[in-house]
Structure 1
Amino acid sequence: MSHVAPEQLAPWTEEQVQQHLAAGRLVEGLQHMSPKYLEGMRRILTVSADTEFVSAPSYLRAAQHAPALNNFGSAMSIIQDELAHAHIGYRLLGDLGVDMDELVYERPAGSFKYPYAFDVPLNSWVELVCANALYDQAGFVLLSDVYQSSTFGPWKRALAKVDKEETFHLRHGRTWLRKLCKDPDGKAEVQAAIDWMFILTLEWFGLPDSLKQHSEQLDYGFKGKSNDELRQWWMAEVVPFMDEIGIQVPAHHAIERDVYEIDCPFPAAFDEEKREWLLDEGPITWDEVIARWRARGPMNAEYVRTLQRGYQTTSLRK
């Protein structure tokens, strides 16, 4: 990727950055960054923007099965929001010395960085609203944490709007799940979708804290909570809701310790063609999970090709 090296843009030392943050000040631009801070901020912004960007074709695929035109319109509104959220992240990356055209439109599909869950196709309206309830809840948890804790001022301010829009997305999913679960057939469809989507979303929050590689996300205040804390936050929102609508999930609240415990092998092997978890085989290592993430899933190339097609076929291309 053609972008300016952090060492050429970020003038501060680590000590200067830490003193700035310790004084309770926000980082407002490159002038307040060290190369390490800049590199870390580029990393987290890329993951956030890529996730929002790729969610659009994923949701569009399922929105074709909307039961009515007004339902399709609601889905398109969500997709429009996701693209706008992606633009925020990419625009900030442009301000941080990254070549936006190359990042968004010329990068190979396998180089995009987003949760593996979006590489697994959503094939129905039921699966779309399940994704709104699970995936968008994960997005809300992650971005709310950034909004509350981020030391990077431009992103923090932009997320005030994003936070409210993600609330609409997950509310859309929950409203539909309550409606569907009143009917036995609808409830069965929801259960079938949740069976594979719940564990995929557990993975969304990344490696357990004991294996986390990039400590600067917490050290620099890019976010406020660790991966395990964010996973707990997500389960605290999702598990009680699933109990409310009568959907079974492999997790429960351990009241005596006030934590949510996962009731199945985790991490586990996943059959992406059948969209099934091979739980009978027991847990696997996180190295095996990372290998699956890096290989990307069945929809990766198609979704990125869809997003890049207009640029590749018009005079916008350099």
Structure 2
Amino acid sequence: MPPLSVLDLAPVVLGATPADAFRNSVRLAQAAERLGYNRFWLAEHHNMTGIASAATSVVIGHVAGQTKTIRVGAGGIMLPNHAPLIIAEQFGTLEELYPGRIDLGLGRAPGTDQLTLRALRRDPAAADQFPQDVLELQALLAPDEPGQKIRAVPGRGLKVPLWILGSSLFGSQLAAHFGLPYAFASHFAPDALMPALQVYRERFQPSEQLAKPYAMVAANVIVADTDAEARRLFTSQQQAFTNMVRGTRGLLSPPIDDIETYWTPAEKAQASRMLACAFVGSRETVRAGLTRFVEETKADELIIAGAIFDQDARVRSYELLAEMWGA
């Protein structure tokens, strides 16, 4: 079975604060480290009251500082929002502080709406420069070239591992062309998963960083003692995706007894399509579903998201998953 990792959005639940979300992220990362998860990634989003990881590199440093061995990184940094030099310096600093433990996943989307994109002072056309920005960032993290005038300090020569993130064929083509590991965002945008993986593997060109394709696939997983309990916990995430469809994002809501009373048939269809790569149930149910998923995708690694309102139940879900997967 492929190794497991954790994707954390530092969710802010109803009645709590971002400070609570950060404490919960640290607790989850420490549990993931104890349980043998491979890496713990945080994602960049802006102007979303239910997600606390906007200053992603800061939260990565906070989590890495309170863990010891697990890899910690970005899943991802939305590179069009930043100058490559700034990201090289930030992740160079993290690598100096926590050597051998930092990952840098790069996305092309803004991680926000168009109005907030303007507030970030970035040109909406900056996404068109994404391939060039990746190359610039890669060069800034490489050893100095003769006559090089601009250096990332810290950063130069540290070769922080880069990943390309995506939910379309563009990211898979770019990751293949640059010879970088590829992570697909099937936890919320699964439609192009199989074609993207095929393109990535068929077109992959070996690089200094990576000799052969390496694909990590995201999935939503909620495990509980019974199928019914897990399905109830899942209603928090189903509400969140319904709110996304409605354009009314907010804090993560507590679970409800009957999700059918919350969404309309059209909302259900759209939210369920986005959540197609969700595996919810008892250990036996999730094992069967994830095993089929791995057989279909041939994933080299799975990165697991799970928006659960109650933090004890959230940690328990990752514990049950690790016990089941290891067994």
**Higher helix residue share:** 1
